[in-house]
Amino acid sequence: MKHLTAAILKPFVITLAQFALASLTISSQALAAPCAGPGAPTDTQTKCVTGVQIPGNPLRSFDISWVNPERAEYYLADRSNAGIDIIDTHHLTFKRTIGGFVGIKLTASGGVNNNLSGPDGVTSHGRWLYAGDGNSTLKVIDLDAPNGSAIKETIPTGGVTRVDEMALTTDGDLLLAANNAEDPPFATLFRANGDNSFSSVSVLLRVTISPAIVPPGFGLSIEQPAWDPVTERFYISVPVIANNPTGCNFGQLSGPITCDGGLLVVDPATLTSPTAVLGAFDPTTNAGVVPLNRCGPNGATVGVHGNLLLGCTPQNNPSDVVTEVINATTKHFALVANITGSDEVWYNSGDRRYYTASSRACGLAAGCPTGGAVLGVIDGTSVLIEAVPQSSNSHSVAADSRRNLIFVPQAAPAAIVGSGGDTTPVGQEICGSTNGCVAVYFHQIDSDRREDHERGRDHNDRR
C-alpha cells in the first residue's frame, strides 16, 4: 500500500498510494507542474510530489504550519492572505482560507514586520484550531463551521505584539502560547476546548522567566513550545539566555551574541498564581530553564523515547551551527552536525524521522547565518539523512503521520513580492509558478519495516 507512482497525462496527473486507503487520483487543477529543480532531487529518500497552489496573493510571508492527520488537514498561517490556509492531505487539494487576521504589517523600510503581522502560531486538536494574531490575540476556530462563523473567540493576551508559537496537551485541554516579541517575553497558559462541541477558552495565567536569565531591554525572546506526554511538561525553546557561558554577550555588550540558549521546562500542574516566574532548572521538580550547549533554539518537537529535537540557529548565536537532540527526562543530549538554521521543526511518527525547516542552513556560499534554506531530514537516532534545498525563507514544516507526507511552504520570487520573497530559482521550480505554493514531499518506508513503523505511529498518535 505504501508506494508512490507518477504518470504524465494531459496535462499532469499523479497517483498516490498511501497508508490507510486505496489509491486516489489527484487532478491537475489542484496541483502545480511536477516538482523540478534542486528542490526535487532524484537521489534523495524524501521525494517531492507536487506543489499545492494557494489562491489569492502570492506567498510573501507565512509562519507556522500544522497537520491534523485524523482530519486529513494541513493548516498554514498565511500572512499574505491574512488567514489560515487549509489543504486536504488525502487528496492534496486546497480547501479554503479562514480569514479575519491582521495580515502583513510593514516596517518603515517596506519589509515585513513579523512582530505585528498575523496569523503566526497555529495548532489544533479535533475540531478546534488555535491561531495567534499580530495584535496579541488568540483566535479560536471551529473547523466544522463555515468561513464566516469559524472564529468563535478572540482572546487578548495583554501584549502589543504577536501571539506566536504554541502547543497543546495531548487531550487538548491546555494550550501554551508564546508572545515572543514582547520585552520581556511571556507565555500564556489557556484552558482550551479539548473535545468539547462548544468554545469556552479562558486565560489561566502568564508564564515568564527570571530577569536574571532573560534580562529585559535586550530584545530576548521565547519560541516554539512542545508538550511531552511522558513527563507531562511543556518544553519551550529560549534562543539566548544570560551567563551561558559565564560572561557571555547576550546583547549587553557590543559585537556578536556569544550566549547560547536554554530550554524552559514548565509543569502546568504546579502553576497557581496569575503570573508564574520560572528560574534556573531544578532537577527535583523537573522545571525551570536548562542551559543548552552550542544551541540557540527556535524550534522544538518531541520524538521517540522522549527525545526533543531543538531547531538551533546561528541567527541567535552565530557560533551555533549544529542541531541538538535532548532527552526530556535525563537532559542528556546529542549534537547533529551539518544541519542548522531551523525555525519550525517536526517529528513524524509515520516514519520516525525529524524534519527541520532550516531557512538559515550554512551549506551554500553565503555561509552562516544566511547560507541557504533546506528541508533537513534526521532519523530517530539523531543521524542526518539528507538536506533538500528549499526557497529562501522556507522556515515552516509539518508532516501527516498517517499518509507520510511532509509539507513545506515556498515563498514566491522576490521579483514578484519584494523583500521576504525567494531570491533563488528553487521555489519557482518546485511550484511551477511564481505565486509560491506548499511543496509536498513523501518518504516511502521499506515493506519489511512498515509494520514496525505502523505500531510506533499508532502509539505516538494515541499519546
Q: What is the pLDDT of residues 67-125, one digit of tens each?
A: 999 999 999 999 999 999 999 999 999 999 999 999 999 999 999 999 999 999 999 99
> With contact defined as beta carbons under 8 Å apart, do 84 and 77 qualify?
yes
Span 45-73, pLDDT tens digits: 999 999 999 999 999 999 999 999 999 99
Residue 314 structural domain? 3-462
3-state secondary structure of 342: strand
- List the 62-68 sheet strands across, edge first: 62-68, 73-78, 83-88, 93-98
Q: Which of 44, 43, 52, 54 is nearest to 14 (CA)?
A: 52
* pLDDT tier, 361 (very low <50, low <70, confident <90, very high otherwise): confident
Q: What is the pLDDT of residue 275?
A: 93
| pLDDT (average), residues 28-36 | 59
| pLDDT (average), residues 317-332 | 96
The secondary element (H helix, E strand) that includes residue 415 is helix 414-417
Strands (E), 218-350: 225-228, 233-238, 262-266, 275-278, 288-291, 297-302, 307-312, 323-327, 333-336, 342-348
Parallel, antiparallel, or unpaired: how do β-strands 166-168 and 151-156 relate? unpaired
Taking CA 158 as the corner, what is the angle to CA 152 and CA 160, rounded to the nearest 5 degrees?
100
Q: What is the pLDDT of residue 272?
A: 86
CATH number at residue 60: 2.130.10.10
Q: Please give the Cα distance from 444 to 146 (Å, whole number).
A: 35
Q: What is the pLDDT of residue 108?
A: 95
Task: Provide long-range contacts, Cβ within 8 A and 24+ apart, for 413-417.
Answer: 416/58, 417/58, 417/59, 417/60, 417/80
The secondary element (H helix, E strand) that includes residue 25 is strand 24-26
Indicate the number of domains in the chain.
1
The mean predicted confidence, pLDDT, of the chain is 90
Q: What is the pLDDT of residue 371?
A: 64
Q: Please give the Cα distance from 444 to 73 (Å, whole number).
A: 20
The secondary element (H helix, E strand) that includes residue 5 is strand 3-7
Q: Please give the Cα distance from 89 to 446 (Å, whole number).
A: 22
Q: Please give the Cα distance from 397 to 338 (Å, whole number).
A: 19
Q: What is the pLDDT of residue 39?
A: 96
Scored b (16 or more CB within 10 A) or e, 170-201 reads: eebbbbbbbbbbbbbbbbbbbebbeeeeeeeb
pLDDT of 368 above 90: no
- 82's CB contacts (< 8 A; 6+ apart) are 99, 100, 101, 102, 103, 104, 118, 119
> With contact defined as beta carbons under 8 Å apart, do 184 and 221 qualify?
no
Choose between 459 and 120: higher pLDDT.
120
Q: Please give the Cα distance from 410 to 32 (Å, whole number).
A: 12
Scored b (16 or more CB within 10 A) or e, 281-298 reads: beeeebbbbbbbebbbbb
Cα-only R_g, the chain: 21
- 68's CB contacts (< 8 A; 6+ apart) are 75, 124, 125
> With contact defined as beta carbons under 8 Å apart, do 65 and 407 qualify?
yes
3-state secondary structure of 268: helix
Q: What is the DSSP letter of 411?
A: P
Q: Considering the entire predicted model, what is its pTM? A: 0.90
Proportion of the chain above pLDDT 70, given as a percent = 87
- 220's CB contacts (< 8 A; 6+ apart) are 183, 184, 185, 214, 238, 239, 240, 241, 250, 251
Span 276-295, pLDDT tens digits: 999 999 999 999 999 999 99
> With contact defined as beta carbons under 8 Å apart, do 98 and 106 qualify?
no
pLDDT of 452 above 70: no
pLDDT of 260 above 80: yes
